[in-house]
């Protein structure tokens, strides 16, 4: 019998084949988190450190942690990785050591149909299968799971991308619906775990000040910007097939937009919140007055370091014309928002890393005569990177009291000690899908960008360029 076909139950300490192994303990009253793709980049760079921040915040939380991968690792190699990454995430050494000591590793080729039934049979009822696997492998593994008898309480954690177009997202959702209920599916978009993004809800709905002016009557336009100074950084394998529009706008930025634009929830729970996000997205279309833009960086310098032209990066196929910077303008056809342009922009290799949601207010209906000076429009700015909130208003200036000037209130908003992946994992472990992307939302995001992708593929929108380290093509205007 090969390694992969052996029963795959997370092995209890008493069954350890290595008698010298540090003895572990299975917490029968705790959920089991199985990370498929345990040796991968996501696991060591984001998932385990995120779990570390969660455990730093909740040291008494109990989890049975199982790593599974096709690599020939044993418990010890996995435990070392868990310990190192959890400490990197800020978990107290004794907490990280406790979790690592009880962690198990299981060699498993998820593409092997023989391997799954025994593995699934071994799962405790309260288990999470987290697919930290390449997307095509995840989909194939889910197909194999349809043949298995899954535990009733099994939750599935799924990484983005959810399909690569509307049809494939629909197909993936149908497949998942054959496995478990929608409440057991956790499509991960770590933006929803960012405290800086969730802050939008607090600012909007817990203040008397903002909601009355939160509509087209008072807001002229909205920008959501996620500019990265990082260039490709060796990720051609994934990025060259995706590009900025799909990597960032199709998922993350549309969800931020939905939070900014949604109607007021009666309560913050997964039903209300996701219904209202879907309500916004269903009304969202390309803005007829604002064409989309795409561009690709050429050679330049970022932060004093030379960056080669994207087309010359290893692993890139220049003929694909992958966008490293994308800008789309959308309208939300609703009574609240009709006519307001929502500009979403994201890219790589840019001169300045900016993560902003900016609301520009209309000018006052009448400015009393007698004031002098220039009055800029009011602006409310969420800095989603720094976690700050800025408000620009006009005030009477010093000296000549009728001369107006601009005053900016800028405040740091309390950041959560739990990193986004910690928040996401907490939701999955607790069975609360509040911060996960519902299936219809994942599909709707593809529906919104489909006409843009079609127009780009048909060559209807030129591929502009910009030297790395600049703010993008000058012709696009300033954001």
* Interface with ligand NDP (CB under 6 A), residue from 33, 34, 64, 70: 70
Per CB under 6 A, 392 contacts ligand NDP: no
* Interface with ligand NDP (CB under 6 A), residue from 62, 71, 101, 336: 71
The footprint of ligand NDP on this chain (CB under 6 A) covers a number of residues equal to 21
Choose the binding region for ligand NDP from 129-137, 328-336, 401-409, 453-461 (rule: CB under 6 A).
129-137
Count H helices and E strands in the chain, helices first. Answer: 13, 19
Q: How far is CA 42 from CA 228, 235, 249, in A?
A: 19, 13, 20
Choose the binding region for ligand NDP from 35-43, 267-275, 297-305, 405-413 (rule: CB under 6 A).
35-43
Q: Shortest distance, CB of residue 159 to ligand NDP, whole angstroms?
A: 4
Task: Using alpha carbons, select from 293, 310, 331, 245 the residue that is nearest to residue 477.
Answer: 293
Residues 357 and 377: beta-carbon distance below 8 Å: no
* Closer Cβ to ligand NDP, 10 or 135, answer by number: 135
* Interface with ligand NDP (CB under 6 A), residue from 110, 129, 344, 384: 110
Mark 145-174 with x for binding to ligand NDP (rule: CB under 6 A) and - for no binding. --------------xx--------------
Choose the binding region for ligand NDP from 126-134, 205-213, 376-384, 422-430 (rule: CB under 6 A).
126-134
152 secondary structure, DSSP code: T
Residue in this structure with the two tokens 């408000």, named with its chain if needed: 391
Among positions 342-361, residues that touch ligand NDP (CB under 6 A) are none
* Interface with ligand NDP (CB under 6 A), residue from 56, 100, 132, 326: 132
Phi-psi region of 179 (alpha: psi -120 to 50; beta: other; left: phi over 0): alpha
* Interface with ligand NDP (CB under 6 A), residue from 51, 69, 99, 444: 69
Residues 300 and 307: beta-carbon distance below 8 Å: yes
Q: Shortest distance, CB of residue 110 to ligand NDP, whole angstroms?
A: 4
The first and second tokens of residue 254, run together, are: 């549309």
CA distance 452 to 105: 44
Q: Shortest distance, CB of residue 78 to ligand NDP, whole angstroms?
A: 12
* Closer Cβ to ligand NDP, 82 or 110, answer by number: 110
* Interface with ligand NDP (CB under 6 A), residue from 16, 21, 40, 413: 40
Residues 229 and 303: beta-carbon distance below 8 Å: yes
The first and second tokens of residue 347, run together, are: 């890219």
Choose the binding region for ligand NDP from 105-113, 119-127, 335-343, 365-373 (rule: CB under 6 A).
105-113
Any residues with CB less than 8 A from the CB of 395 and at least 6 apart, and which? 404, 405, 406, 407
Choose the binding region for ligand NDP from 21-29, 63-71, 375-383, 451-459 (rule: CB under 6 A).
63-71
Phi-psi region of 457 (alpha: psi -120 to 50; beta: other; left: phi over 0): alpha
Where are the alpha helices (H) located in 129-165, listed in sequence order? Answer: 135-145
The first and second tokens of residue 436, run together, are: 């996960």
Where are the alpha helices (H) located in 180-232, listed in sequence order? Answer: 195-205
Choose the binding region for ligand NDP from 64-72, 250-258, 428-436, 471-479 (rule: CB under 6 A).
64-72
Per CB under 6 A, 21 contacts ligand NDP: no
Judge residue 467's burial from the number of C-beta atoms within 10 Å of its C-beta, 0-12 exposed, 13-18 middle, 19 or more buried.
middle
CA distance 446 to 171: 13
* Interface with ligand NDP (CB under 6 A), residue from 32, 39, 184, 199: 39
Residues 278 and 438: beta-carbon distance below 8 Å: yes
Q: Shortest distance, CB of residue 148 to ligand NDP, whole angstroms?
A: 15
* Closer Cβ to ligand NDP, 71 or 204, answer by number: 71
Q: Shortest distance, CB of residue 289 to ligand NDP, whole angstroms?
A: 34
Q: Shortest distance, CB of residue 342 to ligand NDP, whole angstroms?
A: 24
CA distance 183 to 270: 9
**Helix (H) / strand (E) containing 54:** helix 48-57
C-alpha dihedral, 293 to 296 to 301 to 305, nearest 10°: 120
Give me the active site residues, please.
252
CA distance 238 to 313: 13
Q: Shortest distance, CB of residue 45 to ligand NDP, whole angstroms?
A: 6
Choose the binding region for ligand NDP from 131-139, 286-294, 304-312, 422-430 (rule: CB under 6 A).
131-139
Per CB under 6 A, 137 contacts ligand NDP: yes
* Interface with ligand NDP (CB under 6 A), residue from 51, 133, 246, 356: 133
Measured N-to-C along each axis, helices 254-261 and 195-205 cross at an angle, to the nearest 10 degrees, of 20
Q: Shortest distance, CB of residue 478 to ligand NDP, whole angstroms?
A: 30
* Interface with ligand NDP (CB under 6 A), residue from 31, 37, 52, 300: 37
* Interface with ligand NDP (CB under 6 A), residue from 59, 74, 134, 373: 134
Chain contacts with ligand NDP (rule: CB under 6 A): 37, 39-42, 45-46, 69-71, 108-111, 132-135, 137, 159-160
């Amino acid at each position: 019998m090969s390694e992969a076909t052996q029963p795959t139950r997370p092995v209890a300490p008493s069954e350890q084949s290595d008698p010298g192994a540090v003895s572990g303990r299975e917490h029968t009253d705790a959920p089991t988190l199985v990370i498929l793709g345990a040796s991968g980049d996501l696991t060591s760079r984001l998932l385990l450190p995120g779990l570390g921040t969660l455990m730093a915040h909740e040291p008494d939380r109990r989890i049975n942690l199982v790593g599974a991968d096709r690599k020939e690792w044993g418990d010890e190699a996995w435990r070392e990785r868990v310990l190192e990454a959890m400490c990197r995430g800020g978990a107290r050494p004794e907490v990280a050591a406790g979790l690592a000591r009880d962690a198990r590793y299981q060699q498993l080729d998820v593409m092997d149909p023989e391997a799954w039934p025994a593995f699934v049979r071994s799962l405790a009822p309260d288990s999470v299968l987290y697919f930290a696997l390449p997307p095509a492998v995840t989909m194939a593994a889910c197909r194999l799971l349809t043949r298995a008898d899954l535990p009733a309480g099994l939750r599935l954690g799924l990484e983005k991308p959810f399909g690569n177009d509307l049809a494939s997202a629909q197909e993936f959702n149908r497949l998942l619906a054959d496995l478990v209920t929608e409440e057991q599916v956790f499509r991960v978009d770590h933006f929803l775990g960012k405290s800086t993004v969730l802050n939008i809800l607090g600012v909007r709905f817990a203040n008397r000040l903002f909601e009355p002016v939160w509509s087209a009557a008072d807001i002229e336009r909205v920008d959501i910007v996620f500019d990265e100074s990082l260039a490709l950084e060796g990720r051609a394998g994934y990025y060259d097939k995706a590009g900025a529009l799909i990597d960032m706008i199709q998922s993350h930025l549309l969800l931020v937009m939905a939070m900014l634009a949604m109607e007021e929830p009666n309560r913050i729970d997964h039903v209300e919140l996701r219904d209202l996000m879907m309500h916004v997205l269903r009304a969202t279309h390309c803005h007829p007055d604002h064409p989309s833009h795409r561009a690709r960086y050429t050679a330049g310098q970022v932060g004093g370091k030379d960056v080669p032209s994207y087309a010359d990066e290893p692993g890139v196929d220049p003929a694909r014309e992958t966008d490293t910077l994308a800008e789309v303008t959308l309208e939300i056809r609703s009574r609240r928002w009709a006519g307001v342009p929502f500009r979403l922009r994201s890219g790589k290799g840019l001169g300045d890393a900016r993560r902003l949601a900016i609301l520009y207010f209309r000018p006052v209906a009448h400015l009393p005569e007698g004031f002098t000076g220039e009055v800029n429009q009011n602006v409310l700015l969420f800095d989603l990177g720094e976690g700050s909130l800025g408000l620009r208003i006009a005030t009477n200036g010093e000296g000549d009291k009728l001369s107006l000037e601009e005053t900016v209130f800028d405040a740091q908003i309390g950041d959560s000690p739990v990193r986004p992946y910690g928040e996401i994992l907490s939701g999955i472990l607790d069975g609360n899908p509040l911060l996960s992307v519902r299936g219809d939302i994942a599909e709707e995001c593809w529906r919104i960008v489909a006409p843009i992708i079609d127009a780009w593929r048909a060559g209807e929108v030129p591929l502009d360029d910009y030297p790395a380290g600049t703010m993008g093509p000058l012709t696009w205007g300033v954001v």
